[in-house]
Amino acid sequence: MKKRKGWVSNSSSTSFCLLGVTKSHLDLSLGEEEEDSYDLCDLENDILEVCSGIDEFYDDVCIGLSVGSLKDDETLLQAKQRVVDAFKKKGINISTADVDWMVDGGHDG
């Protein structure tokens, strides 16, 4: 199920575009012993959004910065760094090289 902030679509399809990482990438980066060291609900905050995959990221969770959260004068590298910094505040170390665009959507009917 897709979580949305601020509005809900009445459409039969759901999509998102985030600049971030997947939960499976975080789990691989952290290793088995630390895989469960974070809570997805705790990651969602003023900066990061958590979205469930539908098509491209089926059965995975994407965590990142929504397109609507980008600043008008912000470069891509600055936006990636905001994502990195938000994860760092939660004790998760990733690099800007780990952060990428994630676009997903699908028709549920």
More confident residue, 8 or 40: 40
What's the pLDDT at 77?
97
User: Is residue 66 one of the residues assigned to a domain?
Assistant: yes
User: Is residue 84 one of the residues assigned to a domain?
Assistant: yes
Instruction: Say if residue 58's pLDDT is above 90.
Output: no
Instruction: Tell me the CA distances in angstroms from 73 to 19, 59, 70, 99, one per residue in order.
Output: 16, 34, 9, 19
User: Is residue 109 one of the residues assigned to a domain?
Assistant: no
Q: pLDDT grade, residue 2 (50/70/90)?
A: very low
User: Is residue 2 one of the residues assigned to a domain?
Assistant: no
User: Is residue 65 one of the residues assigned to a domain?
Assistant: yes
User: Is residue 5 one of the residues assigned to a domain?
Assistant: no
Number of domains composing the chain: 1
User: Is residue 8 one of the residues assigned to a domain?
Assistant: no
> What are the tokens at 89?
């505040």
Query: pLDDT per residue over 78-109, tens digit each?
Result: 999 999 999 998 888 899 999 999 988 765 54
What's the pLDDT at 28?
80
User: Is residue 90 one of the residues assigned to a domain?
Assistant: yes
> What are the tokens at 57?
């990221």
